[in-house]
Chains A and B, each alone.
Chain A
Amino acid sequence: MSDIAERVKKIVVDHLGVEESKVTENAAFIDDLGADSLDTVELVMAFEEEFGCEIPDDAAEKILTVKDAIDFIKSNAAA
């Protein structure tokens, strides 16, 4: 399971170009990691690609932190 957390964090680091140390589970994409609304859309697309799942828009809107993403993927992803 921790594997999912690591993979999520790596995507966040790559896409937002932020320091790995800043990507804690409680970090919020917009408030803490400098993302804008378009960055968050792209992040969700990257999660979908990586984990082979579909994240509907209403669920995506609730993914605000690294932990939100990990939790959603843990309960929905095939891999």
Chain B
Amino acid sequence: MRRVVVTGLGMVTPLGVGHRYNWDRLINSDSGLGPITKFDVSDLPAKVAGEVPRGDGEGQFNPDRFIAPKEQRKMDEFIVYAIAAAEEAIADSGWKPDTDEQRERTGVMIGSGIGGLPGIAEGAVTLHTKGPRRISPFFIPSCLINEASGHVSINHGFKGPNHAVVTACSTGAHAIGDAARLIMLDDADVMVAGGAEMALCRLGIAGFAAMRALSTGFNDNPTAASRPYDKDRDGFVMGEGAGVVILEELEHAKKRGATIYAEVCGYGLSGDAYHLAAPAEDGNGGFRSMKGALKRAGMNPDEIDYINAHGTSTPLGDEIELGAVRRLFGSAIETVAMSSTKSAIGHLLGAAGAVEAIYSIKAINHSVVPPTLNLENPSESCLGVNLVPKVAQEKRVRAALSNSFGFGGTNASVIFKAFG
């Protein structure tokens, strides 16, 4: 099987724009969470989120730097984030196809959990108040999830496989795993892969709040709201943004002298077949996706030094995932470090798996594992595991496993290992 490596990274998150800027803030225990400023929250129970910082300063996001204002009207914001993250990742990789053949061997697979929810919400109001003649011809293309991949392919002339994953909060991880397989199976040499999400609108908050999935107890102390494994955790905090990686066939990357961040060596997938939103209580879905990834990588648990957990800060999910890790890792649980970077950026839903894959790769590259913020008092069942409370730790990371679990009982685990 052809081997696949990561040669470019790009991200837009509540910590800011750029993988280097993100990493510096992440290991400095900075938080990207704050009060919601995008819209009125007076009648919503959850008033905290991870918003992407806007402006022209270092690490701040200005969409005009990536897309002409006239074009921005034709796309919902998740696409804007996807384009921005892809721009960084592509530039970072240095991959610029010169020939038609190279362009046809370069594909895009950027997914989203929900897609253009703000646009759909606004469109419905327009239809109701002004009638069908006032619906923009750009309404549909601005909301379609695969238009993120579409725009990136158009901007860069990438004519290879053009695909989009939609598996809720597993989207980003599935996109990276599936895109890597397209390269392994020789359908492409280079894939631009990841996830993007911008469901941070009144309808999005109202919907997740109705499921009682969001944190509501820390509205006055936003940076404390996402606290995976902590006794006081009370739900996830929504974030927005995108993560995109450049995946490349190993020999292709070597031939052009590309910087290789890591190898994608394991990928496992499973379904819970249990409930439309809750994870199976025994954690067997996550257990099997991690086990599948280890099998594909040909690795034992004791070769994994870091786990970037799904760990959303919900009362139920965190302990179920940790239980599955315990059973799979056995005695190796004593040496592995496991943290949830959602404590710093919130839950980026369809972008989470891609953003967290990048953090996992950076942990390998820098020999530092990022912290789980706000972990003051771990729940009983979370004791005895290095959850990297509050402060980053120096640690050699030979390989990192990133978990993503989504509504509908869809699970993905991806393993990256140091290259060379």
Interface positions of A (Cβ within 8 A of B):
15-17, 38, 41-42, 45, 48-49, 54
Instruction: State which of B70, B136, B141 has its C-beta within 8 Å of the C-beta of A45.
Output: B136
Which of under 10, 10 to 19, 20 to 34, or 35 or more describes the interface residues of B? 10 to 19
Q: Which listed residue, B70, B133, B138, touches A16 by the CB 8 Å rule? A: B70
Whether B133 and A45, one on each chain, are in contact in the complex, defined by CB atoms closer than 8 angstroms, is yes
CB neighbours of A42 from chain B (8 A): 136-138
Q: In the bound complex, what is the Cα–Cα distance between A15 and B70 (angstroms)?
A: 7
Q: Is residue B134 contacting chain A, with contact meaning CB distance below 8 A?
A: yes
Q: Which residues of chain B have C-beta atoms less than 8 A from A17's C-beta?
A: 68-71
CB distance from A60 to the nearest CB of B (A): 11
Of B71, B137, B138, the most chain A CB neighbours within 10 A belong to B137
Interface contact A41-B137, CB-CB below 8 Å: yes
> In the assembled complex, which residues on chain A have CB atoms less than 8 Å from the CB atom of B74?
38
Q: Which residues of chain A are within 8 angstroms of B136 by Cβ–Cβ distance? A: 42, 45
Apart from the given pairs A15-B70, A17-B69, A17-B70, 8 other A-B contacts in the complex at a CB distance below 8 Å? A38-B137, A38-B138, A42-B136, A42-B137, A45-B133, A45-B137, A48-B133, A49-B134
CB-CB under 8 A from A15, the residues of chain B are: 70
Closest Cβ of chain A to B72, distance in Å, is 10
| Complex CA–CA separation, A15 to B68 (angstroms) | 12
Interchain CA distance A26-B172 in the complex, whole Å: 48
**CB pairs A–B below 8 angstroms (17 shown):** A15-B70, A16-B70, A17-B68, A17-B69, A17-B70, A17-B71, A38-B74, A38-B137, A38-B138, A38-B141, A41-B137, A42-B136, A42-B137, A45-B134, A48-B133, A49-B134, A54-B133
> Among the interface residues A38, A48, A54, which one has the most CB atoms of the partner chain B within 10 A?
A38
| Contacting residues, chain A, for B137 (C-beta < 8 A) | 38, 41-42, 45
CB neighbours (8 Å) of A16 from chain B are 70
* B57-83 CB contacts (< 8 Å) to partner A: 68-71, 74
With both chains docked as a complex, state the minimum distance between the C-beta of B63 and any C-beta of chain A, in angstroms.
14
Write the nearest CB–CB distance from B125 to chain A, whole angstroms. Answer: 16
Residues of A within 8 A of B141 (CB): 38
Please indicate the chain A residues that have their CB under 8 angstroms from the CB of B138 in the complex: 38, 42
A42 to B137, CA, bound (A): 6
Complex Cα distance A15/B138, Å? 12
CB distance from A41 to the nearest CB of B (A): 4
Chain B nearest CB from A19 CB (Å) reads 12
A32 to chain B, nearest CB (A): 16
Expressed in whole angstroms, the Cα–Cα distance for A16 and B136 within the complex equals: 14
In the complex, how many angstroms separate the beta carbon of A29 from the nearest chain B beta carbon?
A: 13
A43 to chain B, nearest CB (A): 10
Q: Please give me the 3 A-B residue pairs with the lowest Cβ-Cβ distance, nearest first.
A: A17-B70, A41-B137, A38-B137
Tell me the bound Cα distance from A49 to B350 in angstroms.
Answer: 36
Measured CB to CB, the closest approach of chain B to A9, in angstroms, equals: 16
Contact flags (1/0) for B120-150 with A, using CB distance below 8 Å?
A: 0000000000000110111001000000000
A46 to chain B, nearest CB (A): 10
Cβ of B68: which chain A residues have Cβ within 8 Å of it? 17
Task: Give the chain B neighbours of A48 by CB distance below 8 A.
Answer: 133
Chain A residues within 8 Å of B134, by CB: 45, 49
Whole-angstrom CA separation of A40 from B141 in the bound complex: 15
CA distance A41 to B136 in the complex (A): 8
Q: Which residue of B lies closest to A37 (CB)?
A: B137
How many angstroms between the C-alpha atoms of A17 and B70 in the bound complex? 6
Q: How far is the CB of B32 from chain A (nearest CB, A)?
A: 32
Chain A contacts for B69, CB-based, 8 A: 17
Q: Chain A nearest CB: distance from B151 CB in Å?
A: 14
The answer for the CA separation of A12 and B354 in the assembled complex, in Å, is 39
Q: Kindly provide the distance from the CB of A39 to the nearest chain B CB, expressed in whole angstroms.
A: 8
Instruction: Give the Cβ gap from B324 to chain A, nearest Cβ, in Å.
Output: 47
Chain B, Cβ-Cβ closest to A17: B70
Q: How far is the CB of B309 from chain A (nearest CB, A)?
A: 43
Give Cα A42 to B141, complex, Å: 13
Smallest CB separation, B73 vs chain A (Å): 8
Per the bound structure, the CA–CA distance linking A42 and B71 in Å amounts to 13
Query: In the complex, how many angstroms separate the beta carbon of A11 from the nearest chain B beta carbon?
Result: 13
The residues of B that contact A54 with a CB separation of less than 8 Å are: 133
Q: Report the minimal beta-carbon distance from B223 to chain A, rounded to whole angstroms.
A: 39
Report B-chain residues with C-beta under 8 Å of the C-beta of A38.
74, 137-138, 141
A17 to chain B, nearest CB (A): 3
